Amino acid sequence: MLREVDFKELQFNPYNLFWKQWAAVMAGTEETGANAMTIAWGMMGSLWDFKNSAIAAVYVRESRYTKQFMDREPYFTINVLPAELRKAHGILGGKSGRDMDKFAAAGLTPVYENGYSYIAEAEAVYVCRKLYAQEIRENLFTDPSVVERNYANHDMHTQYMGEIVKVLMRTEERACRK
């Protein structure tokens, strides 16, 4: 069971959340459809004048089916799956929702609530109200080796920044491993 908690009370390492543990970004509603994909890049912290909440940033490539949901919807969620569901990330990150029901294939259940969606099996869900979206542009990199290592096919990301408006955590588990 997921319960709402105050973001300011959480203690975790965002680096571990994205880089080591991974997460799934999801956007959509029951009426418009939803899609999710694995992400290993992201950030959480403070920005602008959102003193009573935090900001999350996630990155989605132009080629990903999830991008149309991220562009269209006012909310997205960051879903942290428990370690025993690590294999689900292979489906969420390696298959396209254009061609299949990734939720069913991964054994995951989408939940639709108040204009956003999340994964029922997640151990933590960060509900984000989208504030900003910006395409990453190759010509703005000051270190060309970053482009060479990450964008050999020139399939750039769009950065989505959102205010974390709600955090849901599994009651019997911790949200993130340290």
Mean pLDDT within 46-52: 86
pLDDT digits (tens, 9 = 90+) for 75-114: 999 999 999 999 999 999 999 999 999 999 999 999 999 9
Predicted local distance difference test score (pLDDT) of residue 137: 97
Instruction: Assess contact for 168 and 116: CB atoms under 8 A.
Output: no
Higher-scoring residue by pLDDT: 57, 53: 57
At residue 146, the 3 state secondary structure works out as helix
Whether the predicted pLDDT of 16 surpasses 90: no
Mean pLDDT within 51-71: 94
Confidence of residue 160 (pLDDT cuts 50, 70, 90): very high
Least confident of 10-19, 126-135, 156-165: 10-19
Count Cβ atoms within 10 A of the Cβ of residue 76 and give its class: 0-12 exposed, 13-18 middle, 19 or more buried.
Answer: buried
Mean pLDDT within 107-122: 97
Q: What are phi and psi of 80, to 5 degrees?
A: -100, 115
Predicted local distance difference test score (pLDDT) of residue 178: 44
Other CB atoms within a 10 A radius of the CB of residue 114 amount to 9
Confidence of residue 172 (pLDDT cuts 50, 70, 90): low
Predicted local distance difference test score (pLDDT) of residue 173: 46
Domains and CATH numbers, the chain: 2-170 (2.30.110.10)
